[in-house]
Copies of this chain bind each other. A is one copy, B any other.
Amino acid sequence: MDDRFFREAAHGQGKRERTLAALLDAAVDVIGRKGMEAAKISDMTTAAGLANGTFYNYFQSKEEILHKVAMEVAVEVSHRLDAQMAGIDDGPTRVVTATTGFVDLVLDAPDWAAILLDSAAYLSAPPEEAFHYLAADITRGVEQGVFDTKIDAFTLGQTVALIGAAIRMQIRHGRDGELTRRLCVNILRLLGMTARRADKVVTQVLG
């Protein structure tokens, strides 16, 4: 999904922008195949059809492009989820919708999954952008009185950990909608809903 994502976004722009986009697309591709650690600069430039040294006209270091790619992907994922969720008002429904949407989106684009997953481990700073909406939805649920939990980095971290574990398992053992459903239940439970109400919400949203 979305091979050449950056190049399309840079279509019609200046040469510098297009080369930059080519490098970012190449990075996505290479990271998807080999992971951040093993991704070589030369892999990226080769995939982008550029010479080795050209890389350093656009980035100061390997780390920089890794950060950039991770952030851009996170932002784009957030955008897409926002679009899916317009008009949904109920907190729990939003959480389930967002989680399902996120997991599906990321499993559809394994390159992006690799980037998001790796960025938490390989980069010091995981891209909060990807999960920003989640904090907002949880807050909304708390305000609506259906969630019973503190809203802070810890709760967010716990939730993200659940999502990450679920994605990793599906990458390893194959896609499984049932696991995504259970993930949603787990998140709602963790946020303070009873097991019964959590099931009901998930069934309403996912059918």
Tell me the dominant secondary structure on chain A's binding face: helix
Interface residues of A in 106-153 (CB under 8 A from B): 121, 148, 150, 153
Given the interface pairs A160-B165, A165-B160, the reply to whether A179 lies near B154 with Cβ below 8 Å is yes
Q: Please list the residues of chain A having a beta carbon within 8 angstroms of any beta carbon in chain B.
A: 37, 121, 148, 150, 153-155, 157-158, 160-162, 164-166, 168-169, 179, 182-183, 186, 189-190, 192, 194-195
Q: In the complex, what residues of B have CB within 8 A of residue A155's CB? A: 182
Docked complex Cα distance between A179 and B158 (Å):
11
Q: In the complex, what residues of B have CB within 8 A of residue A158's CB? A: 162, 165-166, 183, 186
Choose among A150, A153, A157 the residue with the greatest number of B CB atoms under 10 Å from its CB. Answer: A157
Choose among A162, A164, A183 the residue with the greatest number of B CB atoms under 10 Å from its CB. Answer: A162
Q: Tell me the smallest distance from the CB of A53 to a CB of chain B, in Å.
A: 13
Q: List 16 A-B contacts (CB under 8 A).
A: A37-B37, A148-B195, A153-B169, A154-B179, A154-B182, A155-B182, A157-B165, A157-B169, A158-B162, A158-B183, A160-B165, A161-B164, A162-B190, A186-B190, A189-B192, A190-B190
Docked complex Cα distance between A82 and B102 (Å):
39
Docked complex Cα distance between A195 and B153 (Å):
20
